[in-house]
C-alpha cells in the first residue's frame, strides 16, 4: 500500500567530521557516503560498521556513484559553494569531479517502466 513502516536509524555518526550527503550502495550491500565538510567519502558495511574512507583534497564532497565499463570506478562530485577566497586558495580542486578505482563494483541501474 506504499506506507512506510518500521522506521529506524540505520547509522548515526555525530563524532565524524562533516555531515552525510549523497550516497550509493555497491553490489556487496555496502553504503558509500559523501561527507559534506568532511573531506572524504566513507564506506560502511550493511551493519553500519565503518570499513574505510577515501580522503579528498577538498572539503565538500556532495555525492558519489559507480561508473565505468565494469562499474568499478567510484565517481565523486564536490562543491565550492560558500567557501571563502582564502579557503579556495587552500583547496583549488574544490568543485571538481574525482574518481576512485574500487575493488568493489557498483550496481546496475534498474529503471521503472510503469
1, 15, 21, 45: the active-site residue: 21
Mark whether 49 is an active-site residue: no
How many whole angstroms separate alpha carbon 4 and alpha carbon 102?
33
From residue 86, give the alpha-carbon distance in Å to each of 40, 91, 100.
20, 9, 27
How many whole angstroms separate alpha carbon 41 and alpha carbon 53?
6
The residue assigned the cell 565494469 is 70
Report the run of H or E that residue 90 belongs to, with start and end. Answer: helix 85-90
How many whole angstroms separate alpha carbon 114 and alpha carbon 97?
33
Residues taking part in catalysis: 21
Amino acid at each position: 500500500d506504499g506506507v512506510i513502516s518500521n522506521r529506524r536509524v540505520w547509522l548515526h555518526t555525530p563524532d565524524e567530521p562533516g555531515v552525510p550527503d549523497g550516497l550509493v550502495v555497491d553490489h556487496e550491500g555496502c553504503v558509500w557516503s559523501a561527507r559534506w565538510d568532511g573531506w572524504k567519502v566513507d564506506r560502511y558495511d550493511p551493519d553500519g560498521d565503518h570499513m574505510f574512507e577515501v580522503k579528498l583534497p577538498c572539503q565538500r564532497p556532495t555525492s558519489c556513484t559507480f561508473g565505468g565499463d565494469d562499474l568499478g570506478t567510484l565517481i565523486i562530485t564536490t562543491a565550492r559553494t560558500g567557501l571563502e577566497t582564502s579557503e579556495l586558495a587552500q583547496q583549488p580542486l574544490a568543485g571538481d569531479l574525482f574518481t576512485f578505482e574500487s575493488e568493489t563494483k557498483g550496481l546496475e541501474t534498474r529503471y521503472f517502466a510503469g
